[in-house]
Amino acid sequence: MKVTKAQSAENRAGIVEAAARLYREKGLGGVGVADITRNAGLTHGGLYRHFDSKDALAREACLRAFDWTITPLDKLEVEGGPHDPAARLHALVHGYLSAEHRDHPGDGCPAAALAVDAARAGPEMSEVFAQGVESNIQRFAHAIMSDGPHAPGAEERAQTIHVLASMVGGLVLARATAAGNPALSEEILATLREQLAPEPKPTSKQKPKPKPKSKSGARR
């Protein structure tokens, strides 16, 4: 049975999605062609009808992985929440440095999952990874800026790089220690959350409660 163009495009997208997820879970060297096609529900030979090589697939899958979602931040965007930079930074940091993100790398940030692999995979993969990191810098900068959509300035870009690099490094350490020392893993996440985006403090002092009057009102 001949495969339609629409079905072929769907199959290709399925392969890319499967590869993007599996690479983040197991690393670039820990996933074979058979793993990817099986996960995508296709035959082994189906991959090479869409990609010249496994390396070509890895590059496209890596770039696709950078479209990952941080639920708290994206929820603010969808619901049109307050464009308060502090609230958005809080959502970004606390969503990224969460146990959920730590424990499900296949759905998360490829920078934390694949940075070491990408550095060893040669200049072509490094170029793709650099594009993905740059897209995350732009995306996060826009998410936490206070003045609406515009190109981030030097200060905003520097802040974003600082936050992103701190989160990536923290998540890598939290994942590396999670099995051997869960308490340390949690401590790393909690410490960075507090350092990068502490819980907001009350802005106004509560007025002292008036002293209750005696029922008779008489002085003694």
Residues 47 and 88 in one domain: no
Residues 29 and 82 in one domain: no
* CB environment 118-140: b (16+ within 10 A), e (fewer): beebeeebeebbeebbeebbebb
The residue that leads in pLDDT, 176 or 50, is 176
As a whole number, the mean pLDDT across the chain is 84
Residues 84 and 190 in one domain: yes
Q: Is 160 exposed, middle or buried (0-12, 13-18, 19+ CB in 10 A)?
A: buried
**How many residues are given for the chain?**
220
d(CA 192, CA 205) in angstroms, rounded, equals: 28
Secondary structure class of 128 (helix, strand, coil): helix
Tokens of 22: 């599996």
Residues 62-95 have pLDDT tens digits of 999 998 877 666 666 655 555 677 888 888 999 9
The residue that leads in pLDDT, 27 or 2, is 27
Answer whether residue 218 is part of any domain.
no
CATH at 101: 1.10.357.10
Q: Which segment of 107-111, 197-201, 207-211 scores lowest on mean pLDDT?
A: 207-211
pLDDT at 127 > cutoff 90: yes
Residues 35 and 130 in one domain: no
Residues 146-185 have pLDDT tens digits of 655 667 788 889 999 999 999 999 999 999 999 999 999 9
CB atoms within 10 A of CB 19: 28
Measured in whole angstroms, the distance separating CA 86 from the mean position of its chain's CA atoms is 18
Look up the domain containing 48 and give its range.
Answer: 5-53
What's the predicted TM-score (pTM) here?
Answer: 0.81
pLDDT at 218: 45
Residues 143 and 49 in one domain: no
Residues 33-42 have pLDDT tens digits of 889 988 988 8
Question: In total, how many domains does the chain have?
Answer: 2
d(CA 2, CA 45) in angstroms, rounded, equals: 16
Tally the C-alpha atoms within 13 A of residue 157's C-alpha that lie toward its C-beta. 9
pLDDT at 217: 47
pLDDT at 73: 65
pLDDT at 220: 41
pLDDT at 139: 85
Residues 28 and 101 in one domain: no
